[in-house]
Chain A
Amino acid sequence: MEFPPQLRYTTSDEWLHVQGREGVVGITDHAQDQLGDIVFVELPEIGRQVKRGEAFGVIESVKAVCDLHTPVDGEVIARNDALTDAPELVNRSPYADGWMIRLRLSDPAQATELRDAAAYQAALPAAPAH
């Protein structure tokens, strides 16, 4: 399972890729693996202001329905409409084709408060013992 070093991670399994004053958001490989086959992704309207920790959308798999949480404050400036017809992109390519929203960041410094790849990976729950 991969956790690209250039990304920052939330405790609720989203990633943020900061690109200057903007940031791209999606869910991690671990999250898509836990969810299983994803069948539906609901994304916010462009222009919506989102606050750190708030739900910006909903993801549904054959197993569960979960909120998607925004890693940092910002305004939604783009969303991945390809997920409407092909939600399986999140399973296949969680860090590239399966991206969800692009934000204009209110405060890029907030990103430094998120985990780096090593810290995220270290905090993944240990599978229950036999």
Chain B
Amino acid sequence: MSHDGDVGARLAFDRGAPGRRAVDVARWEGTPAALPPPGLLRDAVRLPELSQGELVRYYTELSGRNFGVDSGTYPLGSCTMKYNPKVDDLVASLPAFAEAHPLAPAATMQGTLRTLAELAAMLGELTGLPAVGLAPAAGAQGELAGMLMVRRALERRGDLAGRRRVLVPDSAHGTNPATAAMAGFEVTEVPSGPDGSIDQQALARTLDGDVAALMVTVPNTLGLWERGIEAVAARVHEAGALLYGDGANLNAILGRVRFGDLGFDVVHLNLHKTFSTPHGGGGPGAGPVCATPALAPFLPAPVVTEDADGSLRLVRPEHSIGQLQQFHGSIGVLLRAHAYIRSLGIEGLRAVSANAVLNANYLRALLEGSYALPYQRRALHEVVFSGSPQRREHGVRTYDIAKRLIDYGFHPPTVYFPLIVEEALMIEPTETESRESIEAFAAALRAIAEEAERDPDLLHAAPRHAPIGRLDEAGAARRPVLRWQPPAQPAEPRDER
């Protein structure tokens, strides 16, 4: 079987031939409908003209270039790209779930509603925050739901006008300050201390009566435990503010530490990261919010409620922040999470976090010495290295290292995040990588560190073996070409012999 080698460069437009069709459509014998007025008509729209076989080969070839967790190691820090058991997909695709109509009466939907109620209860138990809203469609929407709940709670107690600020550590996901701003607050950044945890003294200086909430990621984006978080919680509550938890890194503490026990008031989870939904292509996700009973009246609508006779229905909580999207949320993702939790059980979930942490620390040990470690503490679910020595000594940037990993057959890790680490390489192997694959990944990164010393230009030119080489990312952002343009000169018809 032969490949062109430039499948990305040769688009559907560059294939086929004029007049070629994928489907033979019967000629319409009736009266043609009137065309829209001339102003609305384009006179020339060039569409690809391919046979069905050509089209299928084109897409099949493209799909072969895809890289996902089902193809290989995908250690994207802060994203928890792990293998998702296929049985969870199977459950979500059962016709009774998948073909249910979102407007069907509750009486005919008791199975789906029961599953959602059970999931809410399980997430409440896992986080120690029993008031659960499943509706948010992604992590960022879950964050927004949580912060709008904070806002509504302050409003209800007549305390919103004086509390304008939300505190966010400098290691936070970018969505945290964005969420606080979207919810109508001003953002104050709190610096991290030298150990990578929140600088307690800096927090004490800025935490006063005009603060609405502190948003904290546990474990934080450096893959480190947030030291003194219980004391932070007490201090936040003393100031009359609320403690918001970003649960994106739950994978590290699943079944072991509960946000509610630490003193958090509300947390969002990313079910598509921690609880088995393939993601990375932009969705769908699910970002439930879990909160204290005091915040239950503010949950986003709808939530499942059980009547005295045991039947279930969807309701809008008394002082709900409202509905964030149509219908019930990303049902397929919620079903996968339910199946994942039930198939693993609490012991299985504890094994998830144990192995996720073990794998990150094994990788840390394998790469210590090849890359700089800005924080000398033991890692949790992910480990952040710095490519700073490589840049200083060999002119090789983390970006070059990431591109070179593609040549070794691995998806690059997250780079240049968190912002407080220079030339950051943020690696999250997750619990589903085997010992062999972690060792192979580490071996590739060690080989690249040696290449950086010996032959920096090799890295500057990487990737060399990918279908498409080094892209001009700055050029693409500065002068984006957002749609295909026909070539200036009509191309010569290709010789089809």
Chain A residues proximal to chain B, CB less than 8 Å: 34, 36-40, 60, 62-66, 87-88, 125, 127-130
Contacts and interface: CB of A to CB of B under 8 A. Distances in A.
5 residue pairs, one from A and one from B, having the closest CB atoms: A37-B474, A39-B477, A63-B416, A128-B372, A127-B388
B322 interface: no
7 contacts: A34-B422, A36-B397, A39-B477, A62-B474, A64-B416, A127-B389, A130-B372
Contacts of B374: 128
A67 to B, nearest CB: 9
Contacts of A60: 477
Interface string B371-397: 011100000000000101100100001
Contacts of B372: 128-130
B392 A127 contact: yes
Contact of A128 (B415, B422, B477): B422
Given A37-B473, A127-B388, A65 B174 contact: yes
B443 interface: no
B399 to A, nearest CB: 8
Nearest to B371: A130
Given A36-B399, A87-B478, 6 more contacts: A36-B397, A40-B478, A65-B174, A128-B386, A128-B388, A128-B389
Contacts of B417: 64
A130 B415 CA distance: 19
Nearest to B416: A63
B386 to A, nearest CB: 5
A22 to B, nearest CB: 29
Contacts of A128: 372-374, 386, 388-389, 422
A87 B386 CA distance: 27
From DSSP, what is the main secondary structure of chain A's interface residues?
Answer: loop
A125 B477 contact: no
Interface residues of B, number: 19
A123 to B, nearest CB: 15
Contacts of B397: 36
Contact of A64 (B388, B419, B474): B419
A66 B419 CA distance: 10
Which one of B174, B373, B417, B477 has the greatest number of beta carbons of chain A within 10 Å? B477
A34 B388 CA distance: 11
Interface in B385-437: 386, 388-389, 392, 397, 399, 415-417, 419, 422
Nearest to A35: B416
A34 B399 CA distance: 13
A64 to B, nearest CB: 6
Contacts of A66: 419
A128 B373 CA distance: 8
A114 to B, nearest CB: 20
Contacts of A130: 372, 389
Contacts of B473: 37, 62
A127 B474 contact: no
Nearest to B389: A130
Contacts of A125: 422
Which one of A36, A40, A125 has the greatest number of beta carbons of chain B within 10 Å? A36
Nearest to B479: A85
Contacts of A39: 474, 477-478
Contacts of B422: 34, 125, 127-128
Nearest to B189: A67
A38 B372 CA distance: 26
A37 B473 CA distance: 9
A72 B392 CA distance: 33
Given A127-B422, A128-B374, A40 B389 contact: no
Contacts of A37: 473-474, 477
Nearest to A65: B174
B478 A88 contact: yes
A40 B479 CA distance: 10
Contacts of A38: 474
A39 B476 CA distance: 9
Nearest to A60: B477
A39 to B, nearest CB: 4
